[in-house]
Amino acid sequence: MLEGLKKALVLLTAAGERRANRDLGRKATVAAARLLRDPKSIGERLKGLGDAALLHETETGSWVGPEAISNGVGGPFDACDLRHWLALAEISGVPAVPAREVLSLDDAEMAVLSGKVEMPENAVSRSVRKNAHLLEPYADGAEAEQEEAVDFDSLDEKLHAAMDAVPEGWMVRYARCGSSNLKSFAGAGAAGPEAPQVRLGPNLEIGPGWVRVGNRRRVDVSDSRTVEAAAQGPGGNFPFLARPWMEAARYAVSEDPHRHGTAFAGKGIWPAEWRAFVENGKVRGVSWYYGWCGSADQESAAIALQVRDLAQAMADKAAGIGAWPRYMDVEFVRSSQNPSLLGNEAVQAALVSLGRETVSCTLDFIETAEGGLMLLEGGPPNTPFGGGHPCAFAGCGGAPKFGNRTLTDGVAFRTMPQVLLGDPSTWVDGDREGCILSWDEVEELAMGPAPQP
């Protein structure tokens, strides 16, 4: 069943990416058409985009690299870059799933491999093409220069050579995120003790972060999640990392809520993973990562407390050296002059808690079969305007977008009964019994029943 599901997930993910590309093309065409209706205002309208780009470049240009953290040197850093979190775990004495860099691309190479947006063929797009010359004074020709500077045959060999040194059974990911296929496998409970690989034909196989054509694999760079994360992060260098696929110490088997009511409805298997939520230097909450299948039992309670301690150790070390996780979505909101944001109490309160020189983030851990709890990755904090997903805390305070924080203090072992993680309209507070416990309740549960005489 799982093998058939994996193949279906690969095909559905590919179809979804093609559909998203077409949707992006349509939106870009409509936006360009609106811009060209009033050519005199093009410069003014593009100024706002230029200001955002300048803020992005200035902010990300101030971030330190992972080698600084390895040497105990602080500074702002990319909250989405796995390399920084691994460096922080190492100097904190926290076990982590290792990773090593196998590929690095520059701006020109990444631009070429990112692909092109598929533009629709209709009256609107024809009008845009006809009037595109009006935009020429605002174009710098950088894209054309990048394409001319790249040797496609050498670049293709570079992608293959990077995989030649990666052992079978390993995964590959961009430093800032995993691939779309990896996300699909994990979310649907189709990724078990071994790295998921799907053979689509005699000469084609898809794995986590790579593609095999014939007898040789290459890194998959054109994946949509990778391209989007690359566009949002610092430019200049785009590293890809190889990691061993870790077998979990425990797995949860449950009906998959994502496949409910479809032809692929059924059970999935999810590894025991946890997410710690750090805000202003303190671990506020810990959640079972796959919130629909956790359980509030003694063993899980004890492990949740261990997750809290490991995450706190990393937060303390980061604060001690002055290493501050930064996330561009938060910085864009912080600098916004939009009245709806300036007047929103929840947004402004969150910005105070997520100060620029605070340790606020999410830290993910996996229960491994051999090494106990290990850091899997880190990421941005949970906010009312994006960032780290609340996992089983969803509904604690309402939907996150420009509303209350979804986070609360304690441990979320599973989502509340009324919450469907795929439907934010169901994210309303309710009966938390057996789902979300306070720290005192978790500590009591972890101790177990009193000994009988």
The residue among 245, 272, 289 that closes a domain is: 245
Would residue 274 count as lying in a domain? yes
The residue among 190, 217, 245 that closes a domain is: 245
Query: Do 228 and 204 have their domain in common?
Result: yes
Query: Do 283 and 413 have their domain in common?
Result: yes
Query: Do 257 and 237 have their domain in common?
Result: no
- The residue behind tokens 């990421």 is 379
pLDDT of residue 59: 95
**Tens digits of residue pLDDT in 144-168:** 455 567 888 999 999 999 999 899 9
**Tens digits of residue pLDDT in 325-378:** 999 999 999 998 888 888 888 888 889 888 999 999 999 999 998 879 999 999
Would residue 127 count as lying in a domain? no
- Please give the structure tokens belonging to residue 189: 């409970």
Would residue 217 count as lying in a domain? yes
pLDDT of residue 435: 95
pLDDT for residue 26 is more than 90 = no
Strands (E), 360-427: 361-368, 372-379, 382-383, 386-387, 410-412
Would residue 351 count as lying in a domain? yes
Query: Do 336 and 395 have their domain in common?
Result: yes
Query: Do 141 and 271 have their domain in common?
Result: no
Label residue 420 exposed, middle or buried (CB < 10 Å: 0-12, 13-18, 19+).
middle
Q: What is the mean pLDDT of residues 396-425?
A: 77
pLDDT of residue 287: 96
Would residue 86 count as lying in a domain? no
pLDDT of residue 264: 66
Would residue 24 count as lying in a domain? no
Q: How confident is the model at residue 46 (pLDDT cuts 50, 70, 90)?
A: low
Of 428 and 187, the structure prediction assigns the larger pLDDT to: 428
Query: Do 317 and 430 have their domain in common?
Result: yes
Query: Do 239 and 300 have their domain in common?
Result: no
Cα-Cα-Cα-Cα dihedral sign, residues 196, 78, 332, 404: positive
Measured distance CA(149)–CA(134) in Å, rounded: 26
The residue among 220, 245, 270 that closes a domain is: 245
Q: Is 362 helix (H, G, I), strand (E, B) or coil?
A: strand
Range of 410's domain?
Answer: 251-447
Greatest Cα pair distance in the chain = 88
**Terminal Cα distance for the chain, rounded:** 49
Query: Do 214 and 282 have their domain in common?
Result: no
H-assigned helices in 336-405: 339-342, 345-353
Query: Do 273 and 162 have their domain in common?
Result: no
pLDDT of residue 412: 96
C-alpha distance from residue 99 to each of 83, 96, 241 (Å): 8, 9, 6
**Tens digits of residue pLDDT in 104-124:** 999 999 888 876 545 555 654
Query: Do 283 and 398 have their domain in common?
Result: yes
Measured distance CA(239)–CA(83) in Å, rounded: 9
Task: Please give the tally of structural domains in the chain.
Answer: 2
Q: What percent of the chain has pLDDT over 90?
A: 48
Query: Do 331 and 372 have their domain in common?
Result: yes
Average pLDDT, the chain: 82
Query: Do 236 and 255 have their domain in common?
Result: no
Would residue 17 count as lying in a domain? no
**Tens digits of residue pLDDT in 204-232:** 888 888 988 888 999 999 888 888 899 88
Least confident of 31-45, 203-217, 404-418: 31-45
